[in-house]
Structure 1
Amino acid sequence: MRKLLALTCAAVLTGFAAIAAPNVTFKSIDGGVLEMSDWAGQPVLVVNTASQCAFTRQYADLQSLYDTYRAQGLVVLAVPSDDFRQELDSAAEVKEFCEMTFGLDMPMADITSVTGQNAHPFYGWVKAQTGFVPRWNFNKVLIGADGSVIETWGSRTSPLARPVTDAVETALAGS
């Protein structure tokens, strides 16, 4: 029975892992849907964010990274989450805070769960691919132009840190 269960779980994970990240959608903070398939062929840096976190200042660096590389094709997607109890109460408050405080104009998802049983399918896919699960806010996942996970970084890694910008530049060169 355990062997059958293990094989079934492996088959489910294999089937789920076969779903390329570009097929994933997020609810947009502006209403509607953000479809990663719209960014097929482009690298996408997905970052779980929060407005009331010690790392919230990274929004400025995310915008700077986006400004630096967007013309070359980089997409930076902010995914606000209250999983660590540090997000504002509504998407409208998050949007206003980010625009007023940091001048953000990058794509932003609505408030989204990134951990546990209610984690967004993107984060389930990343976990199945790499074992990576956000342990706090401002974890970064770089998706390549082919839809695969290139690299992941934790909260302490600045969006402008050399490992991130090197990986972004390499991904852009290959897209």
Structure 2
Amino acid sequence: MSIYNINVKLENGAEYSLERYKGKVLLIVNTATKCGFTPQFEELEELYKKYQQDGFVVLGFPSNQFLQEVATAKEAAEQCRLSYGVTFPMHEMIKVNGKEAHPLFKYLSSQANGFVGKSIKWNFTKFLIDQDGVVVNRFGPKVKPSSFEGEIQKLL
């Protein structure tokens, strides 16, 4: 199994394979627009804009598993764009834990344990993936994206 074998859907329902990002550095984040960590969208967008030309992509996946998201993926993406200027790809509403967890987050969690095990404890858990699709680090919700900019630079 590889991250590149997983299909995801954008907020508009368009499905694609993560293979499209082979050779790029990814930062995959479970997001929520009504969360105390929502201001991290600004830092995520700054990093995306700064390193996009070098092959860096941020992928946002809204989740209401922690009851802090708006009604639909499209509404969540719209709020991210309007409130935080987000231009990176936003995806369908997903679950990140349990039997109904999206295959992507099952895979990511199996590759990198969090502070207290594999499950995702809250919104804005971030996974850094290298150009070969290897999960190189997992950052908890309290870790600001700017704090690991050096790791992104090294991978690029």
Structure number with the higher helix fraction is 1
Matched with 1:152 is: 138
SS at match of 2:91: coil
CA distance in structure 2 between the partners assigned to 1:135 and 1:58 by the alignment: 17
Among 116, 122, 143, which residue is 2:129 paired with? 143
Q: 1:32 aligns with which of 10, 14, 18?
A: 14
1:165 paired residue number: 149
Asked if 1:133 is matched to 2:133, the reply is: no
Deviation of residue 129 (structure 1)?
2.0
Conserved? CA contact 2:109–2:120, under 8 Å: no
Is the CA contact (8 Å cut-off) linking 1:46 and 1:142 kept in structure 2?
yes
Superposed CA offset, 1:66-92 (max 9, x none): 011101000100010001000001122
Instruction: Tell whether 2:52 aligns with 1:70.
Output: yes
SS in 1 for 2:146: coil
TM normalised by structure 2 equals: 0.93
- Report how far residue 166 of structure 1 moved: 1.5
TM-score normalized by the length of structure 1: 0.83
Q: Structure 1 stretches of 5 or more lacking a match?
A: 1-18
| Change over 3 Å in CA distance of 1:148–1:63 after alignment to 2 | same
Q: Give the 3-state SS of the residue equivalent to 1:71 in structure 2.
A: helix
CA distance in 2, matches of 1:155, 1:70: 23
Q: CA deviation at 1:112?
A: 0.8
What do the CA deviations read for 1:87-113 (whole angstroms, capped 9, x no partner)? 001122112211111111101111111
Unaligned runs of 5+ in 2: none
**Is contact 1:34-1:109 (8 Å) kept?**
no
Q: Secondary structure at the match of 1:114?
A: coil
Give percent identity, aligned residues only.
34
Distance 1:40 1:57, change over 3 A: same
